[in-house]
Amino acid sequence: MKIIVTGGAGFLGSRVIRALLSDGAARGVPAFDSIVSVDLAPCPVEDARVRSVTGDIADPAFIRSLVDAETVGIYHLAAVLSGQSEEDFDLSLRVNVDGTRALLEAARATGRRPRFVFASSLAVFGGAMPEVVPETMALMPASSYGAQKAIGEILVNDYSRKGFVDGRVCRLPTIVVRPGKPNSAASSFASGIIREPLNGVASNCPVPPETRMWLSSPDTVVSNLVHALAVDGAAIGPWRVLNLPGICVTVAEMLASLERVGGAAPRALVTQRPEQRVIDIVCSWPGDFDVSRPLALGFTRDGDFDAVVRQYKDEFVR
């Protein structure tokens, strides 16, 4: 039996694979003996149980060659991110919508109703919102990426309703602090204003300091994604969408944490020059959610942002 992970070569996918190999069985994920990473690049996880396959997830024939009756679980993490989606509409539509449908169709063809974890985004929201967003909030995406994720959510829900997959839609908080280089997400600066200064490099904050963000550390998001595959679908209920728990932090509070954990010198490396392209996307997102249902289902969140910054500093700053 196997688990498929699209985007398995990436920052999040590779960490999910490592976590599944480490303690997936102990946490109750369906029994498996191999993991197939599907991406445009080879998976960096070196383990005899991991098979790395490169190819186009929007190619139905390619996906059907991988997803078969031995597939007990699928993580769909691959996507064209928010910034690039605004710049290349056709590519993002093909990957984010056509690729999701191709994967769902391949799962449907197995006749085995595999568990299907779809990584969505708080970018599905927009417009006027309350201080704390309830689970029943209507979707009003203000970006192509958000619209495409909203389409994916509806597809996963309908394929689950029809009994083709056992879906779990996880709306991810912005993941901070990501190690490595910036990516094409509009929210990439949220890691950059912590990561770069802690490594002695200048960084710019492109949004107003009062901007609220819904954040989670990489370790917590990965843990929650593993739990998403393990949790009983009946406990989730007919509406398969979950706002994964995060913490609500303003940009000003993020920078205050940077100074408390890293000192005055890293904080001084952060400039604040507005970038309208980023403001238009990020400031359309909500900053706080009612996550009582996911917490009751066993999902978790970080204690405070100081701990998130400290986690990155202790692990990656030398």
Instruction: Measure the CA–CA gap between 113 and 107, rounded to whole angstroms.
Output: 7
145 is an active site residue: yes
Residue 15: CB partners within 8 Å, gap ≥ 6? 218, 222
Asked if residue 177 has a cis previous peptide bond (ω within 30° of 0), the answer is yes
Instruction: Measure the CA–CA gap between 198 and 194, rounded to whole angstroms.
Output: 6
In this structure, the number of other CB atoms found within 10 A of the CB of residue 253 comes to: 18
The one catalytic residue in 75, 145, 159, 312 is: 145
The closest of 214, 209, 213, 221 to 273, measured between CA atoms, is 209
Residue 249: CB partners within 8 Å, gap ≥ 6? 212, 213, 215, 257, 305
Q: For residue 1, which amino acid is it?
A: M
Residues carrying an active site annotation: 145
